[in-house]
Amino acid sequence: MSGRRYDDVLEGDELATRELVLEKDQVRAYARATSMYFARFTDDEGARKEGLPGMITPGNMSMGLLGSFVEQWSGAGTLRRLGTTFRGLVLPGRTIRLCGAVTQKDDATRTVEIDVWLENDDGERCVIGTATVRLP
Amino acid sequence: MALDLDRSIIGEEFDRTTYDPLTAEELVAFATALGETDPHYTQPGPDLVAHPTFAVRFKGKKFFPDNLPESLRFRMSFDAGKDLDVGVPVRPGDAITIVSTLHDVYEKTGRTGTMVFVVVRFTLLNQRGEQVAIVDNRLMYRGQDQ
């Protein structure tokens, strides 16, 4: 299922940044698919009643977006580990950027460590993390 | 917020929940909502597997052990992040069991004061007992002086 080979990767390689508008309906679809259909993830007014600026993206979804972003680079089925820290709110309806860079290779396990982050249109890193992929 | 915790509860299993067998539609809906287009995650058929982060959608019936101090169990917490270790692929028909343990409790002091982190670990097994994933859920509590 993999598309990228270990020997073709260098420490310092950057993943091509992916920019997208995270639509509110996409967030609602994720909330529905994960049985998290709560106001904070689906409805601006309901989210404001909880003290939020509007509906927000589940942290799990941000994690999923980063997982997909990494595998689009490394190949489906290669992700072994993904650790994320949720630092700020990810607001739907705005542009986000998914970014990453290779920090380390391990020849013994043929694994690659990648720093990843999700930033908003103000350049704030709302989610940061580290991914590990195993490559052929 | 001083931590008054009997550390012997760390590592104890406090919940075990088994879900109904998964359908292909559930796996595809999850992947599609993430904008996935890879056919391994989106095309029903013999090669369909769940997206690697599918595991984070699960939780046990009980999120905290009964013997966690009340000062943590009943206070508002923030989802500070998750660590996912990916195991064998999840396929349609798999019945996933979540084994929950309290993995760690620790304090940190930052610019905004003292915070307590509670890490709840979900170990996901399929119906053959194979490890599908380990998910560490980090919950953050701000100190009462905040």
* Burial (CB count <10 Å: 0-12, 13-18, 19+), residue B144: exposed
Tell me if A81 and B86 make a contact (CB, 8 A cut-off): yes
Domain range for B67 is 7-22+58-142
In a domain, A36, yes or no: no
* A23-63 pLDDT per residue, tens: 999 999 999 999 999 999 999 999 999 999 999 999 999 99
In a domain, A52, yes or no: no
DSSP label at residue A76 = T
Q: What is the mean pLDDT of residues B87-93?
A: 98
- Check pLDDT > 70 for residue A2: no
Q: Which amino acid is at A98?
A: L
B19: which 2 tokens? 């879900």
Number of domains in chain B: 1
In a domain, A130, yes or no: yes
Which of these, B145, B94, B102, B107, lies nearest to B123 by C-alpha position? Answer: B102
Q: What is the mean pLDDT of residues A107-119?
A: 98
Number of domains in chain A: 1
Which residues in B lie closer than 8 A to residue A129 (C-beta atoms)? 81
In a domain, A126, yes or no: yes
Give the pLDDT confidence score for residue B2 in this predicted structure: 56
For residue A117, give the 3-state DSSP assignment.
strand
- Check pLDDT > 50 for residue B145: no
A87: which 2 tokens? 């630092």
Residues of B with CB under 8 A from a CB of A: 26, 29-30, 32-36, 38, 40-41, 49, 51-53, 56-57, 78-86, 89, 138
- Return the C-alpha torsion angle B64, B67, B72, B73, nearest 10: 50
In a domain, B111, yes or no: yes
Please say whether the beta carbons of B1 and B116 come within 8 A: yes
DSSP label at residue B19 = P
Tell me if B80 and A76 make a contact (CB, 8 A cut-off): no
**C-alpha distances in angstroms, B20 versus B17, B79, B126?**
10, 26, 11
Question: Residue A130's closest chain B neighbor by CA?
Answer: B83
What CATH number is given to the structural domain containing A107? 3.10.129.10
What CATH number is given to the structural domain containing B135? 3.10.129.10
- CA distance linking residue B94 with residue A99, whole number of Å: 33
Tell me if B33 and A30 make a contact (CB, 8 A cut-off): yes
Question: Residue B134's closest chain A neighbor by CA?
Answer: A81
Which residues in B lie closer than 8 A to residue A38 (C-beta atoms)? none
In a domain, B77, yes or no: yes
In a domain, B85, yes or no: yes
Task: Please name the residue that has the structure tokens 């698919």.
Answer: A33
In a domain, A37, yes or no: no
In a domain, A64, yes or no: yes
A33: which 2 tokens? 């698919």
Question: Residue B89's closest chain A neighbor by CA?
Answer: A77
Say if A126 is an interface residue toward chain B (CB within 8 Å).
Answer: no
B73: which 2 tokens? 């169990």
Which residues in B lie closer than 8 A to residue A68 (C-beta atoms)? 34-36, 51
Size of interface A-B (CB pairs under 8 A): 88
Which residues in A lie closer than 8 A to residue B33 (C-beta atoms)? 26, 29-30, 32-34, 61
CB atoms within 10 A of CB B42: 17
* A76-98 pLDDT per residue, tens: 999 999 999 999 999 999 999 99
Instruction: Give the contacts of A94 (CB within 8 A, at least 6 positions apart).
Output: A21, A22, A120, A121
- Check pLDDT > 80 for residue B97: yes
Domain range for A106 is 6-22+57-134
In a domain, A62, yes or no: yes
Which of these, A60, A65, A59, lies nearest to A89 by C-alpha position? Answer: A59
Confidence of residue B8 (pLDDT cuts 50, 70, 90): confident
Averaged confidence pLDDT in chain B: 91
- Check pLDDT > 70 for residue B61: yes
Q: What is the mean pLDDT of residues A97-122?
A: 98
